[in-house]
Amino acid sequence: MAKPIMVSNEAYSELKEIKKDRSFSEVIIDLMKSKRKKTVAGLKDCMGLLDKDDDEYGRIMKELRPMYKRWTKKYA
């Protein structure tokens, strides 16, 4: 059974933009499910998206290396 809800014009515009050929209910459920994903599951979705030869990959790794070193010292 459907229930009417009220959303702001801004929220409606955002939902309408991403819904494409899906229903608003499907979009809302997908958004709620994606918020519930644990960090590891979210990372698995992104794994392999960047080619190691990509400039962005290099910048990201350069930024993360110091954090990896701190983490390794703290938890190893």
d(CA 65, CA 72): 10
The span from the first CA to the last CA of the chain, in angstroms, equals: 53
pLDDT tens column, 1-56: 888 999 999 999 999 999 999 999 999 998 888 766 666 666 667 777 777 787 88
DSSP string, 4-44: -----HHHHHHHHHHHTTS-HHHHHHHHHHHHH--HHHHHH
C-alpha pair distances (Å), 73 with each of 4, 60, 67 = 53, 20, 10
| DSSP letter, residue 50 | S
Residue ranges per structural domain of the chain? 8-37, 49-76
The whole model's pTM is what? 0.45
